[in-house]
Amino acid sequence: MPSAGRRVSVYGLELAGEEDAFAAREAACAASAVEVVAPGLATARGVDADRLRTLAYTHRASRLLGRCEASVAAARTLLDAATLDRSGTVAVRARDVRSTAGVDTRRAERELGSALVDRGFAVDLDDPDHELRACFAGDTCLLGWLVAESARDYGDRRPTDRPFFQPGSMAPLDARAFANLAGAAPGATLLDPMCGTGGTLIEAGLVGARAVGVDAQQKMVRGARQNCRAYLDDTPFHCLRGDATALPLADDAVDGVVFDAPYGRQSKIARHTLEDLVSGALAEAARVAPRAVVVADRSWAETAHDAGWTVETTFERRVHRSLTRHVHLLDR
């Protein structure tokens, strides 16, 4: 608990994508009290800057000077009244998030930059000591000092560019988000019992987790190993052939489970029907981990409940006209 009289910092988060509720839920992996306050913007407390850099659906976090209406004049008034606890060179960056505020961002940068110069700062647009972010969205402006940016390097790991590729592989941006939601973090162990080409294993490993992959097909196990070796360097990982409904793991062996269930209601996978496979995998996941993220082309919430899970929340994320992903966040 903060001591009496101590000011608790509030942060502004610039969310990525178009689904703010989903982005905010992932942001909660790196912050507390996350609340969406305008399109593409949220506030939070207790931001872990290192952890935030690993998020897929948060671009940046700024320590807020304040919040005001979405106008240049209001932002200037807020800045003029703020206590500034730093010195050196600055740059001002303004955004009209999703073009929802109708604010002239160049004018905002000029006005706010002028206010900072009046208070003794020097402007350096190339390599400033500090960056002031003015984010306008809807009727809201969040004004604050940048403290962290996420690494946007997902284009370096496109499925088609990996050593081993199979159609239907998940994009690394989504794989990172699902791994984060399942508990991937430095020191944690994350399991994908239907690991396929290893996309979630790569993303879990890149945030510092120990990744464990299981797949029924030896071809996929070999391919996942090849892909993980290409991206994870010295980060430990394990890939083995096995049955998601009968995992070769002890009870409570991992910190989280994430898997992308096979799509198609009439699918038959090895000796299992789709329903038997998913229900069995959910039961095994509940045996080996306290949390799971399950992605599918339909709701498996009732099946998850029957397997012993509490369904914390679900999201529907449209991929294209013929596919909507159902994302289940499960706790035991």
Where does a domain end: 115, 149, 183?
149
Claim to verify: residue 46 and residue 123 sit in the same structural domain: yes
- Asked, for residue 1, whether it belongs to a domain, the answer is no
- Asked, for residue 5, whether it belongs to a domain, the answer is no
Claim to verify: residue 140 and residue 167 sit in the same structural domain: no
- Asked, for residue 172, whether it belongs to a domain, the answer is yes
Where does a domain end: 149, 169, 198?
149
Claim to verify: residue 108 and residue 164 sit in the same structural domain: no
Claim to verify: residue 30 and residue 144 sit in the same structural domain: yes
The number of distinct structural domains making up the chain is 2
Q: Tell me what pLDDT residue 263 has.
A: 84
Claim to verify: residue 168 and residue 303 sit in the same structural domain: yes
Claim to verify: residue 200 and residue 312 sit in the same structural domain: yes
Q: Tell me what pLDDT residue 6 has.
A: 53
- Asked, for residue 3, whether it belongs to a domain, the answer is no
Q: Tell me what pLDDT residue 168 has.
A: 86
Claim to verify: residue 182 and residue 299 sit in the same structural domain: yes
Claim to verify: residue 287 and residue 158 sit in the same structural domain: yes
Claim to verify: residue 125 and residue 162 sit in the same structural domain: no
Residue type at position 111: E
Q: What is the CATH number of the domain that holds 228?
A: 3.40.50.150
Claim to verify: residue 191 and residue 323 sit in the same structural domain: yes
Q: Tell me what pLDDT residue 272 has.
A: 77
Q: Tell me what pLDDT residue 269 has.
A: 57
- Asked, for residue 6, whether it belongs to a domain, the answer is no
Claim to verify: residue 144 and residue 163 sit in the same structural domain: no
Q: What is the pLDDT along the chain (332 residues), one digit of tens a residue?
A: 444 445 679 999 999 999 999 999 999 999 999 999 999 999 999 999 999 999 999 999 999 999 999 999 999 999 999 999 899 999 999 999 999 999 999 999 999 999 999 999 999 999 999 999 999 999 999 999 999 999 999 999 999 999 999 998 999 999 999 999 999 999 999 999 999 999 999 999 999 999 999 999 999 999 999 999 999 988 899 999 999 999 999 999 999 999 999 986 544 455 678 999 999 999 999 999 999 999 999 999 999 999 999 999 999 998 888 889 999 999 99
Claim to verify: residue 77 and residue 193 sit in the same structural domain: no
Domain that holds residue 239: 154-331
Q: What is the CATH number of the domain that holds 138?
A: 3.30.2130.30
Where does a domain end: 122, 149, 176?
149
- Asked, for residue 92, whether it belongs to a domain, the answer is yes
Q: Tell me what pLDDT residue 266 has.
A: 42
Q: Tell me what pLDDT residue 10 has.
A: 97
Q: How far apart are CA 295 and CA 265, in angstroms?
A: 14
Q: Tell me what pLDDT residue 309 has.
A: 98
